[in-house]
Structure 1
Amino acid sequence: MNRKQRAKERREKRREDISLLRTIPYSDHERWWTSDTVAVVTGANRGIGFEIAHQLAFHGLTVILTSRVTGVGEEAAKVLQEGGLSVVFHQLDIVDPSSIEAFSKWIKETYGGIDIVVNNAGVNFNAGSDNSVEFAEKVIATNYYGTKNMIKAMIPLMRPSDSGARIVNVSSRLGRLNGRRNRIGNIDLRKKLEDDESLSEELIDQTMNTFLEQVKDGSWKEGGWPQVFTDYSLSKLAVNAYTRLMWRTLSERPEGHKIYVTCCCPGWVKTAMTGWAGHTNPEEGADTAVWLALLPGPSISGKFFAERREINF
């Protein structure tokens, strides 16, 4: 059997697994959530985000589907509502602090709090072999700072429970610190970022700022940054690092107030972001994020997953 045939078999097996996920409910022992459990999904008007909202609602949760653009978000929510699912739309632009503040206020007034947040919203302006950094500032602002600001805003809203609340950050393998190909060339910086003792929000922010400064002065190619999808890869590296940092911080919370935080790579998915050139469909891309959001127990916290398997940061 050649490589293409094996890859095809793996994709078919994943489709079977997802079909099974949809048709067989979780057991009473595994099902810690109810219809009152509230999950927020950012960037959910299309693609992976829409499918994450779809699958969570299918499992019986109340899902708040968010989108930067009101019209398309309302239409997306309507599609799921017409299927009998408990989905509510609210506008949210994660790069706008006032939008996050308004959304947080609405959450508190309407639901009192939330139980799950899936940070899916993100942007990428390169396709194929392109590696322009023309929009680097927007990519970093959305994928990293927007996600970070959402996490900070949502933590005070996460409701106490014996099962714990969940934060799932949709990230990418391209953001791995020690990937064999697409990694930071500066060994000292890489060691600082991978060391839990030296890792800090200031270090992550400074890494992003240094890159953006080099973009502005044209020296970024000599900066030792990832060589493929450079701005996108760095934004996801920051998300991965911040996930580890938040795990360390949140692990200190007492029982009954636990918040478990993870990140995952959906793979190269056929969506508008990839120019529909991916290997997998949105249903498959959404699977790991949904699995992490619903998986019982604390064993997943602070880890990075792809295809339901833990991988190294």
Structure 2
Amino acid sequence: MNHLLPPLSPTNRWWSEETTAVVTGANKGIGFAVVKRLLELGLTVVLTARNAENGSQAAESLRRIGFGNVHFCCLDISDPSSIAAFASWFGRNLGILDILVNNAAVSFNAVGENLIKEPETIIKTNFYGAKLLTEALLPLFRRSVSVSRILNMSSRLGTLNKLRSPSIRRILESEDLTNEQIDATLTQFLQDVKSGTWEKQGWPENWPDYAISKLALNAYSRVLARRYDGKKLSVNCLCPGFTRTSMTGGQGTHTADEAAAIVAKLVLLPPEKVATGKFYICVESKKLISKL
């Protein structure tokens, strides 16, 4: 299904300076561009980064150009203690969360390679890190007036059609999918990598470890969306398209600012237009397609 995002205009503006967003992995690239765009639109934004110096400098660069509503807190999503410390900091200093953009991720493959290099690290960061942070922040979401939003930055590499194994695909596309089944799938992948049989077992061929981490994130998002359906919290995923960032070696078809504009429009949709449990893929500057 194709979706054309509506323009952000004063007539459909539901947010204010009191609306608070958290963006992870935001000292550069898409994350930084998302923070800047949300600040331009008048929100209060928490910029997080694993490296305290880089994050502080990124936040200060935004303050210097007039954005007073930006906060910085160090956050390493691969470290459960860092996640706990961040959730505690947020609760003490800001209290109520409206929007979470899980952007932080790692990849050790060069563009075009299909090698597996550090699958445990990639899965721990890209999937379990985002999941643990989300679960830690769930009690802080505002669900009294509007619809709070979680947007997990994903990849088309994580679509179910990349799985060549019919049995694994049947598990992950089930409407009754559980977190335990997702965990079991990841455990099986890591075992197959260790035994050298991952290709024969039907896992994705391109960037397999990164693809599996994003496939798991998409699956978890659907489970979480089902859990909070009707409870004023939407959970969606977005593949921003091939964006020119350090992760892609500067290659891509569009800029981080263009990707950030799509993110902002999705997380700021009017409450009556907000969907949940969707995986959006950016195919043009304003057009999305929705897939499993």
Counterpart of 2:224? Answer: 246
Counterpart of 2:173? Answer: 194
The partner residue of 1:160 within 143, 152, 156 is 143
Offset of residue 208 of structure 1: 0.9
8 Å contact kept, 1:247–1:302: yes
What is the total number of aligned residue pairs between the two structures? 283
In the alignment, the residues of structure 1 paired with residue 60 and residue 211 of structure 2 have an alpha-carbon distance, to the nearest angstrom, of: 34
Question: Secondary structure of the equivalent of 1:221?
Answer: coil
In the alignment, the residues of structure 1 paired with residue 117 and residue 95 of structure 2 have an alpha-carbon distance, to the nearest angstrom, of: 41
Counterpart of 2:239? Answer: 265
Offset of residue 100 of structure 1: 0.7
Q: TM-score by structure 2 length? A: 0.93
Any gaps of 5 or more consecutive residues in structure 2? none
Offset of residue 220 of structure 1: 1.5
The partner residue of 2:88 within 99, 105, 129 is 105
**Structure 2 counterparts to residues 11-160 of structure 1, below 5 A:** 26-28=9-11, 30-85=12-67, 86-160=69-143
Counterpart of 1:310? Answer: 289
Counterpart of 2:215? Answer: 237
Question: Secondary structure of the equivalent of 1:260?
Answer: strand
Offset of residue 306 of structure 1: 2.3
The one-letter amino acid of 2:218's match is N
The one-letter amino acid of 2:175's match is D
In the alignment, the residues of structure 1 paired with residue 268 and residue 118 of structure 2 have an alpha-carbon distance, to the nearest angstrom, of: 35
8 Å contact kept, 1:292–1:300: no
The partner residue of 1:218 within 186, 192, 196 is 196
The one-letter amino acid of 1:189's match is I
8 Å contact kept, 1:262–1:292: no
In the alignment, the residues of structure 1 paired with residue 131 and residue 13 of structure 2 have an alpha-carbon distance, to the nearest angstrom, of: 29
Sequence identity (%): 44
8 Å contact kept, 1:95–1:145: yes
Question: Secondary structure of the equivalent of 2:48?
Answer: strand
Query: Residue deviations 1:9-54, cap 9 Å, x none?
Result: xxxxx9xx9xx96xxx6224x1111101110000000000000111
Offset of residue 242 of structure 1: 0.8
The one-letter amino acid of 2:44's match is T
What root-mean-square deviation, in Å, do the aligned CA atoms of Structure 1 and Structure 2 show?
1.7
Offset of residue 267 of structure 1: 0.7
In the alignment, the residues of structure 1 paired with residue 201 and residue 64 of structure 2 have an alpha-carbon distance, to the nearest angstrom, of: 51
Offset of residue 163 of structure 1: 1.1
The one-letter amino acid of 1:301's match is T
8 Å contact kept, 1:48–1:286: yes
In the alignment, the residues of structure 1 paired with residue 62 and residue 9 of structure 2 have an alpha-carbon distance, to the nearest angstrom, of: 21
Structure 1 window deviating more from structure 2 (93-102 vs 298-307): it is 298-307
Offset of residue 294 of structure 1: 0.6
Question: Secondary structure of the equivalent of 2:10?
Answer: coil
In the alignment, the residues of structure 2 paired with residue 193 and residue 82 of structure 1 have an alpha-carbon distance, to the nearest angstrom, of: 46
The one-letter amino acid of 1:148's match is K
The one-letter amino acid of 1:169's match is N
In the alignment, the residues of structure 2 paired with residue 135 and residue 278 of structure 1 have an alpha-carbon distance, to the nearest angstrom, of: 24
Q: TM-score by structure 1 length? A: 0.87
Over 3 Å off, 4+ runs: none
In the alignment, the residues of structure 2 paired with residue 193 and residue 293 of structure 1 have an alpha-carbon distance, to the nearest angstrom, of: 25
